[in-house]
């Protein structure tokens, strides 16, 4: 994973919010920022019915899908029990206030 | 540094519930050890009656499998009875010599059936009704023997009698009181109950005092003899004449007891390191034998064990339901009435319906229902809330649907709904799915049902209905919280009301300040509480608090409604359904610009173009086909010259 792609500035993503990256081979990827400025990325598609996770409410290290309220862990992409399912996550890092995603 | 050690004596519902509550609010705080005298994991004792009746199996009523204990790192000793509590050395010693030291001790030893002090009460074939072993013994006896006598016409006795009857025995219920269930029912309701149980084939002997149990030739019990000389055959005698709290162990270790282990409002005994919950305790002079109060106690005890020190147990109002299939019975509070109270009674002996509500100072204080119990949970909620029923008094007896108090409180026909009926429209959840989840997963609270089924977790308008389904499925095990005390969500213990008051009184203007002041358990709330807090902030301090878009649901954030497939619908505002040609064109232009394939006009706004003069409206032919159009005509004619 040496190939990092610059996505945006950290400040472009609101705290407890997200932005969507359109990545041709991956489809839509939601990039989230937590309250302590950690950044996470995963498919913008809830494992339940495909809801846009990027539009959900972010809290702690979780996002709540706007459609049916499933909670998805931002770090592992897994649905929080008792729901079962998962989302593909992508590696991201923040350096000098800029967000990079592993290509 | 090693963790403090918590030892629980009693692997039953109250004790394990306390541990569950504790793990929920402060996991990993203690090294936990549990001792259980029975050789089983924690199971739902209330459901032993359905097991006896052959409606459920033992494996279905297990609440926590052995894996659960392992997963939570709990050391479990089953089949080991504690013999001594050494409070000086802070350790417990089991009969087989197993020792465990503790920093905090939780006693939940429950109760034992009261065995009448009469000759023959220790004969083979004479049992109490308390645990899996007793249930198994009854099931075995039903295979081999014919005559069963149940002593005691209380809830447990009747459930046992019903189960034994269903298993093919000839059952007689012997009761000392003048009518059945005298602690739950008044005479009228009890007589109706007796009648329908007699129709099921049970026999009753009321106001009979048992003198002795007679031994047969096989050594087993053979007959029951009464004080008046009458004798009836009995191959199985079930004593269900009440329970006695198990406090001998605590008492022998010097903990103060008075017909139960005496605890204060924090469930602490006279030894500050020792807590007690469940049927073995006496709180403010009352020992509870129903599950709902035990769960309230568990919550309080867990909070204090976790070191938070919030919450007091101040006693419970209880309600009961008889778990005999086909018989609907509900009673709560002060059902007998008396001086200073008024009664509203509905009595239809032919239709098999009886309702009695007891009212004091314009508040519901108790009630009995037989035949139609659908409104039971609603009455119980009114009772717990202490709501002034002055304004609905004339219709109160006819139930919630007639009073018209529906909406968020739900419609109380939960019990009569078919399993296929949809309950939660947001998530497409049927009643059957909810009932299934409640039974299969052993759910007890609305929150648990929400988590497992998603019902009532979106818009929440069906929460009342879900609660009623919960109440009708698990009966007496259901504990409704008083409406104004329900916590906002799992992040806090505070109710909506408390949060609003804190925002106002403490002049809080950011969500961070709210979370800090009210000791939120999560760093930035969740999708339930954050929108609420945000709204309370900007509505209480409109010029000071700043709206936080990240605390708003997507529909509000973007002024559009998210659809199933992730697209959005937009509803342009038309005040009173009126618009101008220019505005209408603007809508069309915007729709075209964003490739909106369809523009839908909801029924109410079909009359949109009625502002044109009738004579010049080319579509006047619609008049005859569209009622909405013709209704709008008076408006149009007003504009005509």
Name the domain boundary from B269, B284, B305.
B305
Residue B200 within any structural domain of the chain? yes
Query: Is residue B365 located within the same domain as residue B475?
Result: yes
Inter-CA distances, B326 with A75, A76, B329, B440, Å: 51, 49, 10, 22
pLDDT for the residue numbered B609 = 44
Same domain, B204 and B96: no
Both B172 and B233 in one domain: the answer is yes
The pLDDT score that the predictor gives to residue B619 is 41
Chain B residues within 8 A of A38 when measuring between CB atoms: none
CA–CA separation, B194 and B111 (whole Å): 28
- Residue B268 structure tokens: 């602490």
Nearest to B522 among A58, A59, A67 (CB): A59
In a domain, B317, yes or no: no
Q: What share of chain A is helix, strand, coil (3-state, %, to 5)?
A: 5, 45, 50
User: DSSP string of B471-493?
Assistant: HHHHGGG--PPPGGG-BSSTT-S
With beta carbons less than 8 A apart as the criterion, state whether B638 and B632 touch: no
Contact A35 B553 (CB under 8 A): no
Q: A87: exposed, middle or buried (C-beta count within 10 Å: 0-12, 13-18, 19+)?
A: buried
Kindly state whether residues B131 and B232 are assigned to the same domain: yes
Among candidates B458, B522, B527 on the partner chain, residue whose Cβ is nearest the Cβ of A57: B527
Residue B433 lies in a domain: yes
Say which CATH number the domain at B393 has.
Answer: 1.10.10.1100
Out of A15, A50, A62, closest to residue B550 by CB: A15
Nearest chain B residue to A53, by CA: B566
Bridge partner list, B258: none
The pLDDT value given to residue B623: 36
Q: List alpha helices for B255-336, DSSP H.
A: 291-305
Cβ B554–A66 below 8 Å, yes or no? yes
Asked if residue B281 lies in contact with residue B3, where contact means CB atoms within 8 angstroms, the answer is no
Q: Does B253 lie in the same domain as B237?
A: no
> What is the C-alpha to C-alpha distance for residues A7 and A26, in angstroms, rounded to an integer?
14
Full residue range of the structural domain in which residue B215 is found: 126-241
Joined together, the tokens standing for residue B36 give 């259980």
* Sheet with B82-86, side-by-side order of all strands: B82-86, B91-94, B99-101
- The label of the residue with tokens 């008049």 reads B623
pLDDT of residue B479: 66
Q: What is the ipTM of this complex?
A: 0.90
Q: Which of A17, A66, A67 sits opposite B550 (nearest CB)?
A: A17
Residue B205 pairs with which residues in a beta bridge? B174
Residue B256 and residue B234 share a domain: no
B547 has a chain A CB within 8 A of its CB? no
Q: Which residue has the tokens 């050789």?
A: B39
> What is each CA distance from B172 to B165, B235, B409, B419, in whole angstroms?
9, 12, 42, 35
Distance CA B42, CA B152 (A): 27
The torsion angle over the Cα atoms of residues B246, B252, B258 and B259, rounded to 10 degrees, is: 30
Residue among B454, B553, B566 whose CB faces A57 most closely: B553
**Distance of alpha carbon B463 from alpha carbon B467, whole angstroms:** 6
Residue B487 lies in a domain: no
Please name the member of B451, B550, B562 whose beta carbon is closest to the beta carbon of A16: B550
Structure-block tokens of residue B299: 């919550």
- Interface touch A67/B451, C-beta < 8 Å: no
pTM, full prediction: 0.58
Q: Which of residues 515-534 of B touch A (CB under 8 A)?
A: 522-527, 530-531
- Angle between helical axes of B155-166 and B187-199 (0-180°, round to 10): 10
Instruction: Indicate which of A49, A54, A59, A68 best probes the interface with B, i.e. most B CBs within 10 Å of its own CB.
Output: A59
Optimal mutation site among B516, B524, B530, B553, interface A, most CBs of chain A within 10 A: B524
Please state, in angstroms and rounded to a whole number, the distance separating the CA atoms of residues B253 and B88: 10
Cα B141 to chain center, whole Å? Answer: 34
**How far is Cα B2 from Cα B5, in angstroms, rounded to an integer?**
9
Contact A99, A39 (CB under 8 A): yes
CB–CB contact A52 B458 (8 Å): no
**B34: number of Cβ within 10 Å:** 25
User: How many other C-beta atoms are found inside a 10 Å radius of the C-beta of residue B313?
Assistant: 23
Residues in chain A closer than 8 A to B562 (CB atoms): 51-52, 55, 66-67
Question: Which single residue is written with the structure tokens 């023959």?
Answer: B120
Q: pLDDT above 90 covers what percent of chain A?
A: 77
Question: Could you give the CA distance from residue A61 to residue A71 in angstroms, rounded to a whole number?
Answer: 10
pLDDT at residue B406 in the model: 42
Judgement on whether residues B82 and B144 belong to the same structural domain of the protein:
no
B351 lies in some domain: no
Domains, chain A: 4-102 (2.102.10.10)
Whether residue B90 lies inside any domain: the answer is yes
| In contact, B531 and B538? CB cutoff 8 Å | no
pLDDT of residue B620: 37
Mark yes or no for CB contact A52/B427 under 8 Å: no
Dihedral sign computed on CA atoms, order B492, B498, B503, B507: negative
* Among candidates B522, B564, B565 on the partner chain, residue whose Cβ is nearest the Cβ of A60: B522
- The CA distance from B147 to B233, in Å, is 6
- For residues B442 and B60, what is the distance between their CA atoms, to the nearest angstrom? 9
Q: Which of B369, B311, B348, B305 is nearest to B494 (CA)?
A: B311
Same domain? For B229 and B249 the reply is: no
Adjacent-strand bridge partners of B330: B321, B369
With CA atoms as reference, the chain A residue closest to B527 would be A57
Residue B105, beta-bridge partner list: B7, B274
Q: Could you give phi then psi for residue B414, rounded to 5 degrees? A: -50, -45
Domain check: are B253 and B284 in the same one?
Answer: yes
Q: Which two tokens stand for residue B614?
A: 């009738």
- Indicate which CATH number applies to the domain containing B11: 3.50.50.60
The residue out of B446, B480, B514 marking a domain boundary is: B480
B591 and B517: one domain? no
CB pairs under 8 A between A and B: 65
| Together in a domain, B213 and B252 | no
Task: Give the residue from B573, B526, B572 showing the smallest Cα distance to B553.
Answer: B526
Kind of pairing, strands A98-102 and A4-9?
Answer: antiparallel
pLDDT for the residue numbered B510: 93
Residues in A touching B522 (Cβ below 8 Å):
59-60
Q: Does B191 touch chain A (CB under 8 A)?
A: no
Partners of residue B550 in chain A, C-beta under 8 Å: 14-17, 57-58
Helix axes B291-305, B13-25, angle to 10 degrees: 40
Nearest to A102 by CA among A50, A52, A41, A53: A41
Is there a domain that residue B425 lies in?
yes
Residue B224: which of A48, B233, B48, B544 has the closest Cα? B233
**Alpha-carbon distance A20 to nearest alpha carbon in chain B (angstroms):** 14
CA dist., res. B99 & res. B559, Å (int) = 64
Interface test with A, best of B526, B566, B568 (most A CBs within 10 A): B566
Quote the CA–CA distance of B496 and B529 in Å, as a whole number: 9
pLDDT digits (tens, 9 = 90+) for A28-69: 999 999 999 999 999 999 999 899 999 999 999 999 999 888
pLDDT the model gives residue B220? 92
pLDDT value, residue B95: 93
Q: Does A27 touch chain B (CB under 8 A)?
A: no
Q: How far apart, in whole angstroms, are the C-alpha atoms of residue B504 and residue B599?
A: 44
DSSP B613-627: -TTT-TTGGGGGT-H
d(CA B50, CA B160) in angstroms, rounded, equals: 9
Q: What is the mean pLDDT of residues A11-34?
A: 93
Asked whether residue B341 is domain-assigned, the answer is no
CB B181 within 8 A of CB B193: yes
Q: Please name the member of A17, A50, A69 whose beta carbon is closest to the beta carbon of B527.
A: A69
Number of domains chain B contains: 5
In B, minimum Cα distance to A51 occurs at B566
Q: How far apart are CA B107 and CA B100, in angstroms?
A: 14
Residue-wise DSSP of B27-70: TTSSEEEEEESSSS--B-GGGHHHHHTTSS-GGGGBSS-HHHHH
| Cross-chain residue pair B554–A55, CB shorter than 8 Å | yes
Hey, are the CB atoms on A67 and B562 less than 8 Å from each other? yes
Cβ–Cβ contacts within 10 Å for residue B265, how many? 14
Which residue ranges of chain B lie beneath pLDDT 70?
A: 1, 321, 323, 325, 401-413, 426, 458-461, 475-477, 479-484, 602-641
- Residue B605 is given by DSSP the state G
Listed residue (B378, B332, B325) closest to B356, CA to CA: B332
B71 touches chain A (CB under 8 A): no
DSSP H stretches of helix in B167-202: 187-199
Say whether both B143 and B237 belong to one domain: yes
CA distance B178 to B206: 6
Alpha carbons B507 and B537: distance in angstroms, whole number = 9
- Residue that finishes a domain, picked among B445, B480, B515: B480
**How close B255 gets to chain A, by Cα (Å)?**
41
Query: Are A55 and B550 inside 8 Å of each other by CB?
Result: no
B550 contacts A58? CB cut-off 8 A:
yes
CA separation for the pair A54, A62 (Å, rounded): 11
């Amino acid at each position: 994973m040496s190939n990092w792609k610059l996505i945006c500035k950290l400040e472009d993503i609101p705290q407890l919010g997200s932005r969507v990256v359109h990545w041709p081979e991956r489809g839509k990827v939601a990039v989230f920022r937590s309250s302590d400025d950690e950044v996470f990325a995963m498919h913008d598609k809830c494992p339940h019915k495909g809801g846009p996770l990027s539009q959900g409410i972010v809290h702690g290290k979780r996002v709540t899908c706007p459609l049916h309220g499933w909670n998805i862990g931002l770090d592992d992409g897994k649905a929080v029990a008792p729901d079962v399912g998962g989302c593909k996550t992508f590696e991201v890092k923040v350096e000098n206030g800029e967000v990079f995603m592993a290509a | 540094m090693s963790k403090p050690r918590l030892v629980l004596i009693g692997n039953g519902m109250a004790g394990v519930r306390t541990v569950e509550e504790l793990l929920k609010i402060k996991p990993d705080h203690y090294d936990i050890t549990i001792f259980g005298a029975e050789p089983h994991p924690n199971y739902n004792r209330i459901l032993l009656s359905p097991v006896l009746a052959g409606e459920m199996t033992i494996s279905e009523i297990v609440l926590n499998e052995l894996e659960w204990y392992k997963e939570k790192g709990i050391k479990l000793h089953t089949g080991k009875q504690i013999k001594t509590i050494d409070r000086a050395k802070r350790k417990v010693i089991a009969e087989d010599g197993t020792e465990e030291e503790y920093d905090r001790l939780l006693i939940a030893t429950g109760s034992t059936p009261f065995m009448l002090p009469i000759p023959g009460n220790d004969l083979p074939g004479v049992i109490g009704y308390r645990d899996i072993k007793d249930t198994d013994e009854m099931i075995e006896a039903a295979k081999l023997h014919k005559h069963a006598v149940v002593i005691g016409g209380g809830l447990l006795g009747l459930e046992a009698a019903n189960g034994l009857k269903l298993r093919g025995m000839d059952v007689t219920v012997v009761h000392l009181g003048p009518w059945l269930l005298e602690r739950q029912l008044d005479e009228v309701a009890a007589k109706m109950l007796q009648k329908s149980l007699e129709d099921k084939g049970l026999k009753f002997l009321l106001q009979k005092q048992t003198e002795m149990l007679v031994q047969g030739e096989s050594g087993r019990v053979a007959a029951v003899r009464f004080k008046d000389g009458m004798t009836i055959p009995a191959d199985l005698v079930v004593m269900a004449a009440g329970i006695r709290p198990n406090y001998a162990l605590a008492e022998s270790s010097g903990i103060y007891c008075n017909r139960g282990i005496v605890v204060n409002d924090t469930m602490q005994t006279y030894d500050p390191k020792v807590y007690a919950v469940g049927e073995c305790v006496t709180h403010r002079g009352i020992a509870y034998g129903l599950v709902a109060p035990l769960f309230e106690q568990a919550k309080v005890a867990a909070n204090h064990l976790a070191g938070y020190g919030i919450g007091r147990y101040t006693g419970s109002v209880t309600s009961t339901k008889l778990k005999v299939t086909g018989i609907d019975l509900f009673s709560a509070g002060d059902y007998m009435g008396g001086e200073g109270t008024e009664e509203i009674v509905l009595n239809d002996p032919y239709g098999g319906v009886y309702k009695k509500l007891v009212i004091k100072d314009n508040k519901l204080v108790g009630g009995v229902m037989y035949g139609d119990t659908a409104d039971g949970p609603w009455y119980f909620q009114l009772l717990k809330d202490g709501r002034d029923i002055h304004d609905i008094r004339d219709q109160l007896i006819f139930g919630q649907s007639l009073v018209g108090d529906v909406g968020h409180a739900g419609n109380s026909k939960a019990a009569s709904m078919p399993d296929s009926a949809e309950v939660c429209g947001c998530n497409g959840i049927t009643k059957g799915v909810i009932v299934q989840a409640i039974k299969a997963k052993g759910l007890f609270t609305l929150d648990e049902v929400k988590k497992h089924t998603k019902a009532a977790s979106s818009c929440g308008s069906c929460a009342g209905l879900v609660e009623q389904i919960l109440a009708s499925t698990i009966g007496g095990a259901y504990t409704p919280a008083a409406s104004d005390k329900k916590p906002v969500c799992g992040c806090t213990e505070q109710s909506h009301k408390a949060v609003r008051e804190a925002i106002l009184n403490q002049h809080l203007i950011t969500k961070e300040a709210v979370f800090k002041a009210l000791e939120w358990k999560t760093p930035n709330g969740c999708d339930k509480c954050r929108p609420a807090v945000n709204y309370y902030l900007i509505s209480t301090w409109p010029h000071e608090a700043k709206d936080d878009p990240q605390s708003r649901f997507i529909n509000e954030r973007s002024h559009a409604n998210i659809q199933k497939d992730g697209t959005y619908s937009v509803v342009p505002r038309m005040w009173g359904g009126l618009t101008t040609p220019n505005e209408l064109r603007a809508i069309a232009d915007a729709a075209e610009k964003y490739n909106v394939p369809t523009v839908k006009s909801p029924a109410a706004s079909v009359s949109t173009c009625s502002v044109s003069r009738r004579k010049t409206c080319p579509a006047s032919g619609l008049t005859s086909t569209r009622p909405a159009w013709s209704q709008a005509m008076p408006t149009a004619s007003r504009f005509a010259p």
